[in-house]
């Protein structure tokens, strides 16, 4: 294993970033005060917490499910991020009580899984393909690392280190070990987090093993199925590309299979490559990244084209009304983007990260923090079969497979970790978020303050606070959608041509206390068109302003949204609607549509219907389904 790390940036820890006011402050507050308590109550009502007591007996109702531990783990992780910035004794006591239940459930050999301890104790590690033992272990590790970082409490961390040691004894290439790997990836990135938190290199080695063993022949999933006495036809979803085991990961070049599993794996691969400097693994990450972003990515930053297998399909296949685009998959893509960003300090990763966050991720939770999307469609008719299971008003309070609600809760709570990174004598600003960050550059403490209404407004003001003058580069991301950015330092304009580095304006100077930077990122309303190979979007455009994608809703535009035609020459404008969700820019313009009332019982008739003028009103996509249920459309017919 190469020992020289490949990453050039290190994220500023979430504990050192305060998100205050602006666009994100209220959302983090809602997440903390509404979503976290609600999800705890759901875990209680659905007996997920009760299952940790291990009192269930065969024949009883409410049998624990094999991935319930992961839901609880993500809630703990979300709580940890919240506690790091908002100490809350009640929340901490709740977490500590759950930690005690987990610790009490750990077996003498370190094993920790509620389902297999209670329901199927003789089936441990016998079905990695279809069950979720290693997946649950990974989420518990992430929770342990986050809670330790937030509070300094080691109890959960120690429990998960024991579990990780058990897993390391069980799996590997040595005699007597299982040559297995997870059917649902996640533990790979979690083990790297555990390594970074503890400094124990054996956890990095285990992550590397799981990455490298995947896809080798003979296929482990076949061998374990045979050991269970199953015929080949009974192996169900063990098709190899579904869980990215069709080839060794170093020779994979396309994103395949279940989109959540895939993007968790790619994030783990990037983590291992970052820590080991493995050029072959990094090359595979780059190839897969290009495939996703150039051929398999929705305009909303979402991934996964089919709900049949919740998976990637093939290049340029991006259906709208039957999209998958699961909230968890979109979050996992952000993880992958963020990790690649630390390795290469290239804004193309941050651009995708931002696109996903403001659209495909944020759409996964209602504005009031009480309802959630599992999949995030780009076109909706409320009576279409694909949508029926998401009534009322689209989002649901909870799901039987409840991976998405706690996932988005932990992501929003951890948003501060995605804003800044520190490099060699440089501070990178990836996202424009009101608040502040405390960093150390070359041994000197520096505080950066941001004031901005982004993404609704185009101006960002940053102020440097430092006790003594400090020389470093402040690298500001110029988003790919922005073509007329400008920067001023203490009122004087900075020429960007000479300081642009991979999409960042790197302003290197000796900074003094109170220095002020003004960044302007003009946000005209733009029409976006898709590659001609994307058959579903030919002849259509999406509307975007800054990083935010817009959509039409029935509540604003009436029914039959697909009959609306936006003239190529029609002017589009954005204005702030203070009555909408406390103040949101809406996009308006003139369009055409046919008059449905003129169709007196006809299903078809000779072409030539007259069109009448119409006015469209588009709202940010992530805010759809926060009012009345109805149709929704992202891609609008143009002509």
Q: Which residues contact 10 (CB under 8 A, 6 or more apart)?
A: 342, 421, 422, 423
CA pair distance 637, 639, nearest whole angstrom: 7
CA pair distance 625, 254, nearest whole angstrom: 33
Nearest to 633 by CA among 306, 387, 309: 387
How far the first Cα of the chain sits from its last, in Å, is 57
pLDDT at residue 136, rounded to an integer: 98
pLDDT band at residue 383 using 50, 70 and 90 as cut-offs: confident
pLDDT at residue 230, rounded to an integer: 87
Residue 391 has pLDDT above 80, yes or no: no
Least confident of 54-63, 92-101, 452-461, 617-626: 54-63
- Where do runs of H (alpha helix) occur along 243-379? 259-276, 279-295, 327-344, 347-355
Averaged pLDDT, 276-283: 96
3-state secondary structure 84-104: HHCCCHHHHHHHHHHHHHHHH
Look over the chain and give the mean of its residue pLDDT values, rounded to a whole number: 95
Averaged pLDDT, 384-388: 59
Angle at 113 between CA 70 and CA 408, to 5 degrees: 5
In the chain, the percentage of residues whose pLDDT exceeds 70 is 97
Residue 508 has pLDDT above 90, yes or no: yes
Task: Give 157-189 pLDDT, tens digit per residue.
Answer: 999 999 999 999 999 999 999 999 999 999 999
In the chain, the percentage of residues whose pLDDT exceeds 90 is 93
Strand order in the sheet with 500-501: 10-11, 420-423, 426-429, 470-477, 504-511, 500-501
pLDDT at residue 390, rounded to an integer: 45
Q: Which residue has the tokens 């609306």?
A: 564
Averaged pLDDT, 378-405: 78
Q: Which residue has the higher pLDDT, 436 or 389?
A: 436
Q: Which of 142, 256, 310, 354 is catalytic?
A: 310
Task: Give 87-103 pLDDT, tens digit per residue.
Answer: 999 999 999 999 999 99
Q: Is 403 a catalytic residue?
A: yes
pLDDT band at residue 396 using 50, 70 and 90 as cut-offs: very high
CA pair distance 337, 599, nearest whole angstrom: 49
CA pair distance 171, 192, nearest whole angstrom: 16
Nearest to 244 by CA among 170, 177, 336, 115: 336
Beta partners for residue 473, in sequence order: 426, 508
CA pair distance 265, 249, nearest whole angstrom: 9
Residue 298 has pLDDT above 70, yes or no: yes
**DSSP 8-state class, residue 35:** I
Torsion over CA of 620, 623, 628 and 630, rounded to 10 degrees? 60
SS3 79: helix
CA pair distance 3, 278, nearest whole angstrom: 9
Nearest to 518 by CA among 488, 475, 541: 488
Contact by Cβ (8 Å): 458, 41: no
Q: Which residues contact 581 (CB under 8 A, 6 or more apart)?
A: 367, 623, 626
Q: Is the dihedral of CA 80, 209, 130, 316 positive or negative?
A: positive
pLDDT at residue 4, rounded to an integer: 74
pLDDT at residue 415, rounded to an integer: 98
Residue 491 has pLDDT above 80, yes or no: yes
CA pair distance 485, 192, nearest whole angstrom: 37
pLDDT band at residue 382 using 50, 70 and 90 as cut-offs: confident
Task: Give 180-237 pLDDT, tens digit per residue.
Answer: 999 999 999 999 999 999 999 999 999 999 999 999 999 999 999 999 998 653 444 4
Host H or E run for residue 620: strand 611-620
Contact by Cβ (8 Å): 509, 498: no
pLDDT at residue 394, rounded to an integer: 80
Averaged pLDDT, 380-391: 66
Q: Which of 43, 129, 285, 403 is catalytic?
A: 403
pLDDT at residue 117, rounded to an integer: 97
CA pair distance 226, 216, nearest whole angstrom: 17
- Where do runs of H (alpha helix) occur along 183-255? 187-198, 201-213, 220-227
pLDDT at residue 629, rounded to an integer: 85
Task: Give 515-573 pLDDT, tens digit per residue.
Answer: 999 999 999 999 999 999 999 999 999 999 999 999 999 999 999 999 999 999 999 99
Q: How far is CA 356 from CA 48, 274, 325, 332, in A?
A: 30, 23, 11, 10
Contact by Cβ (8 Å): 444, 466: yes
Q: Which residues contact 601 (CB under 8 A, 6 or more apart)?
A: none
CA pair distance 296, 323, nearest whole angstrom: 12
pLDDT at residue 628, rounded to an integer: 87
SS3 189: helix
Nearest to 463 by CA among 520, 513, 521: 513
Q: Is 499 a catalytic residue?
A: no
Averaged pLDDT, 345-355: 98
Structure-block tokens of residue 42: 């759901």
pLDDT band at residue 3 using 50, 70 and 90 as cut-offs: low
CA pair distance 517, 495, nearest whole angstrom: 13
Residue 393 has pLDDT above 90, yes or no: no
Q: Which residue has the tokens 């009502």?
A: 45
Task: Give 11-30 pLDDT, tens digit per residue.
Answer: 999 999 999 999 999 999 99
pLDDT band at residue 443 using 50, 70 and 90 as cut-offs: confident
CA pair distance 362, 180, nearest whole angstrom: 35
pLDDT band at residue 386 using 50, 70 and 90 as cut-offs: low
Averaged pLDDT, 410-424: 97
pLDDT at residue 1, rounded to an integer: 54
Residue 389 has pLDDT above 90, yes or no: no
Look at phi and psi of residue 142 and say left if phi exceeds 0, alpha if psi is from -120 to 50, else beta.
Answer: alpha
């Amino acid at each position: 294993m190469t020992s020289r790390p490949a990453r050039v940036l290190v994220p500023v820890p979430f504990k050192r970033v305060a998100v205050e006011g602006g666009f994100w402050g209220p959302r983090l507050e809602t997440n903390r005060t509404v979503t976290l308590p609600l999800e705890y109550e759901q875990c209680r009502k659905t007996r997920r917490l009760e299952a940790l007591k291990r009192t269930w007996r065969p024949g009883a109702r409410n049998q624990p499910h094999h991935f319930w531990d992961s839901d609880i783990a993500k809630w703990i992780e979300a709580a940890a991020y919240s506690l790091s910035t908002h100490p809350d004794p009640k929340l901490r006591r709740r977490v500590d009580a759950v930690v005690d239940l987990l610790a009490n459930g750990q077996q003498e050999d370190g094993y920790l899984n509620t389902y297999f301890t209670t329901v199927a104790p003789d089936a441990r590690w016998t079905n990695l393909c279809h069950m979720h033992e290693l997946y649950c272990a990974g989420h518990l590790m992430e929770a342990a690392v986050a809670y330790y970082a937030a509070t300094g409490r080691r109890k959960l961390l120690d429990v998960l280190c024991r579990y990780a040691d058990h897993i390391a004894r069980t799996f590997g290439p040595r005699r007597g070990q299982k040559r297995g790997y997870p059917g649902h990836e996640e533990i790979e990135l979690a083990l790297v987090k555990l390594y970074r938190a503890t400094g124990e290199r054996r956890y990095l080695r285990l992550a590397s093993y799981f990455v490298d063993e995947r896809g080798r022949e003979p296929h482990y999933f076949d061998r374990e199925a045979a050991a269970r006495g199953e015929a080949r036809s009974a192996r169900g979803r063990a098709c190899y590309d579904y869980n990215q085991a069709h080839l060794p990961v170093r020779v994979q070049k396309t994103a395949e299979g279940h989109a959540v599993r895939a993007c968790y794996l790619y994030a783990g691969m990037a983590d291992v490559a970052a820590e080991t400097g493995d050029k072959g693994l990094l090359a595979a990450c780059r190839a897969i990244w290009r495939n996703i972003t150039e051929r398999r990515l929705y305009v909303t930053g979402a991934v996964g084209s089919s709900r049949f297998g919740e998976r990637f399909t093939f290049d340029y296949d991006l259906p709208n009304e039957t999209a998958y685009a699961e909230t968890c998959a979109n979050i996992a893509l952000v993880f992958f983007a963020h990790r690649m960003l630390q390795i290469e300090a290239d804004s193309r990763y941050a651009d995708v990260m931002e696109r996903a966050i403001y659209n495909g991720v944020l759409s996964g939770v209602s504005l009031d923090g009480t309802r959630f999307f599992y999949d995030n469609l780009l076109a909706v008719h409320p009576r279409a079969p694909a949508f029926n299971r998401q009534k009322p008003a689209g989002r649901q309070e909870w799901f039987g497979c409840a991976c998405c609600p706690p996932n988005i809760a932990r992501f929003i709570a951890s948003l501060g970790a995605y804003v800044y990174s520190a490099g060699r004598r440089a501070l990178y600003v990836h996202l424009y978020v009101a608040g502040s960050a405390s960093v150390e550059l070359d041994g000197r403490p520096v505080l950066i303050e941001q004031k901005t209404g982004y993404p609704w407004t185009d101006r960002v003001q940053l102020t440097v606070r430092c006790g003594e003058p400090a020389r470093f580069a402040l690298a500001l991301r110029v988003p790919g959608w922005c073509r007329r950015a400008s920067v001023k330092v203490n009122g004087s304009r900075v020429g960007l041509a000479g300081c642009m580095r991979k999409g960042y304006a790197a302003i290197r100077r000796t900074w003094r206390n109170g220095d002020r930077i003004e960044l302007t990122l003009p946000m005209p309303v733009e029409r976006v068109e898709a590659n001609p190979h994307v058959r579903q979007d030919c002849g259509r455009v999406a509307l975007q302003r800054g990083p935010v994608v817009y959509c039409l809703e029935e509540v604003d535009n009436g029914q039959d949204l697909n009959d609306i035609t936006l003239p190529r020459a029609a002017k589009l404008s954005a204005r702030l609607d203070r009555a909408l969700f406390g103040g949101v820019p809406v996009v308006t313009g003139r369009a055409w549509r046919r008059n449905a009332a003129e169709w007196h019982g006809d299903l078809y008739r000779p072409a030539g219907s007259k069109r009448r003028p119409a006015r469209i009103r588009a709202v940010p996509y992530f805010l759809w389904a926060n009012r009345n249920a109805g149709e929704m459309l992202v891609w609008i017919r143009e002509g």
